[in-house]
Amino acid sequence: MRGLTATDPARVGGYRLLRRLGEGGMGVVYLASGPGGGLVALKLIRAEYADESGFRRRFRREAELAASLTGRWMTPVIAADPSAPEPWLATAYVPAPSLAEVLASRGTLPPGTVRVLGARLAEALADVHAAGLVHRDVKPANVLLALDGPRLIDFGIARATDAAPLTTTGVIVGSPGYLSPEQARAGEVGPASDVFSLGCVMAHASGGRRPFGEGTPAGVLYRTVHEEPDLDGVPESLLGLVRACLDKDPRARPDARRVRGQLEGSPDPGGDWPPPGLSRLVAERSARVLDLRLPEPTRLDGAPSAGGPAGSGGASATARSARRVGGPTRRRLLRGVLAPAGAAVLTGLLVRDRAGSGDPLPRRVIGLHADLSGPTAGEGRAQENGARIAVEEHNGRRDRPFDLALLVRDDGGDGAGAAGVAGRFVADGSVAAVIGPTSDGAAEAAVPVYDEAGLPVVAVSVATTAVSSRDHDTFFRLRFDEGGHALGAIAYLTRVEPRSRVAVIEDGAASAAIRGTGGSLLHAPPSGGTVTVHPVRADVEDFTAVVADALAGEPEAVVLATDSPERAARCARALHEADFSGPRVTTEAVMGSAAFPTGAGEAAEGWVFTTSFVDPAEHPGAEGFATAYRERFAAAGVPPYAAEAYDAVHFLARGLEGAGTAEDPGHALRRGLWSASHEGITRTIAFHPEHRSLLPGSAHFFHVMENGRPRYGGPLPVATD
């Protein structure tokens, strides 16, 4: 559990929020207290999802279906409000550790305990499937280990089997390592997908490791689709059933009722529960809940807070709320002493007072324009998460001149939607600047709207050359555009693995900017050597001939100028078959899709990708952010552009400080941003005075494909002259 942040509401519906239990996916989960003092886990859906066509109707239907589930091994839905500005759903709170926590601390569970675990989860899934739902995210983190048995939780991405999902078709939904092959392909899923996930959970719980390994999502997804599971360590008594659950063909898997029946065939199916040490963990968790002190509601009218006289201590209502004066303890609440309901509360950003002054800080609003439900939703959500960490960090500074608030809007990855979102941000006079959009197409539609209104927009993932800072005074790109991959290739083959004879295979299907890579290398050959360029037509699927032509000159390295993972995989196979083992360099667009390692197989090994983002866990100076991200969002790693969005927030905050009280703050902000030099955790943000592109030398990085997953290699020393 974590404390509430400054941007968390005090109440949702009739529930007072107490602590954060977790965050991710579609919203935040809170520990909350109901009117009668009972505790619930309340999931608050992010407001941007409410803008999606049909979302509320589907959410209402699926909440009603989930509420109809009364199985013993599920947490019942207590209340929901699909019509609220931020839809929410509350379930009974279970003070128990997750299976993920237990496995992290002890490695495995005894075979008899795994049989009980699997049988009861299969019973829960059978009830879910009978109600017409598919859970879609069965994993150890979504299994609570109560003293009387496990509980399957978090139906945040569950959907009716005959309904459109809450997420977009073609987007992978679920958790790599536990999702099914059909989920990994972003295809349609049914009850058999949950059975596959259950097999992964049982394999991990009994064998001590995930059946498809660790690492980047792309590598795990590839192994899930193409390789057999690693079931070493799974006891013989469970091996046959687990293997059947993990069949690649969903039609060959047993259904949940059959899984339950096989597991309950042991002489004493309830005799190995609870697991060793669980009683102590549950007691500790319960004690922490009992010791919670409820925050007082933030009052707007100066009225007395619950349990204290009016004007107590002479402090203002704002100052009292900022200090979070302690209210009645949970033990008192359990004895029936409740705070009066109906007090006016301040939701959204909590405006704090200056230390000792009593004056509230002004507020500056940064918009986040992102794809949160379309084809680039993963990047959009990463940017949102990174920005939220930066906002909270800024608001925790005692010397800050203002508070920041983040206003998030989803364009669905669609150009028309992006223009609409930009129009809404422009019409909102409180927004000082915007971070985003996520995708190239969205930027092409939205940047002209922002530019016409004079609203600064800072992009961290936009690579298209169709919009540029030279044409749009308000557009700040914090990465190189797609034509900048050539500089990365030159730097790699000059400074990292020096090679003087380089062949460029130029894909006719790539964008014009990427097709220009060959010309850039001819103009500035790596290591001062020689370069040959070998084009391949867009309609050619077999790269054997162009590879043979390129290798005829005995190059020491090959640069592939393409933005297609599928075509890159074909080229990689052709080079592999020709026994070429020198450096092979291509673009981040190839790395960003599982299609490359999936299509290339072992031929993908060793490929180098010039990239615009870092892995903060491995990048000097960014390790603290990586730790904060993993803890905040319960993530195994930090996805691309999260740390870059964090830098964007601090870059804007510095610009807003510099703009101060200028007569034209918008003009002052733009002028300050163009002339600024900000040392971020990922790069130095400073712009060329004429070209208005990032100064070279700080925004190029590289990754290397190792064991089916990209590994961060570090920054590329791009020449600055």
* 667 token code pair: 């003009």
Distances (CA, A) of 483 to 193, 513, 583: 41, 5, 20
Distances (CA, A) of 194 to 64, 115, 135, 175, 494: 20, 17, 7, 12, 50
**Do residues 274 and 145 make contact, with C-beta atoms less than 8 angstroms apart?**
yes
> Whole-angstrom Cα distance, residue 244 to residue 199?
8
How many other CB atoms are found less than 10 A from the CB of residue 403? 21
For residue 62, the 8-state DSSP code is H
CA angle 592, 607, 220 (to 5 degrees): 50
What single letter denotes the amino acid at residue 143? V
**Which contiguous run of DSSP H or E holds residue 665?**
helix 665-675
**Which contiguous run of DSSP H or E holds residue 92?**
strand 88-92
Residue 428 has φ and ψ, to the nearest 5°, of -85, 105
**Which contiguous run of DSSP H or E holds residue 415?**
helix 415-427
The count of C-alpha atoms lying within 13 angstroms of the C-alpha of 98, restricted to the half-sphere facing its C-beta, is 17
43 annotated as belonging to a binding site for a ligand: yes
> Whole-angstrom Cα distance, residue 583 to residue 670?
42
> Whole-angstrom Cα distance, residue 186 to residue 174?
10
First CA to last CA across the chain, in angstroms?
51
* Catalytic site positions: 137
3-state secondary structure at position 25: coil
Q: Which among 204, 203, 19, 176 has a CA at the least distance from the CA of 93?
A: 19
**Do residues 134 and 167 make contact, with C-beta atoms less than 8 angstroms apart?**
no
Q: From the DSSP assignment, how many helices (H) and strands (E) are in the chain?
A: 24, 26
3-state secondary structure at position 7: coil
**Do residues 454 and 474 make contact, with C-beta atoms less than 8 angstroms apart?**
yes
CA angle 269, 270, 271 (to 5 degrees): 100
Three-class SS of 103-169: HHHHCCCCHHHHHHHHHHHHHHHHHHHHCCEECCCCCHHHEEEECCEEEECCCCCCEECCCCCCCCC
Residues 6+ apart with CB under 8 A from 40: 15, 31, 32, 33, 34, 78, 79, 90, 91, 92, 93
- Specify binding-site residues: 43
- Specify binding-site residues for ATP: 43
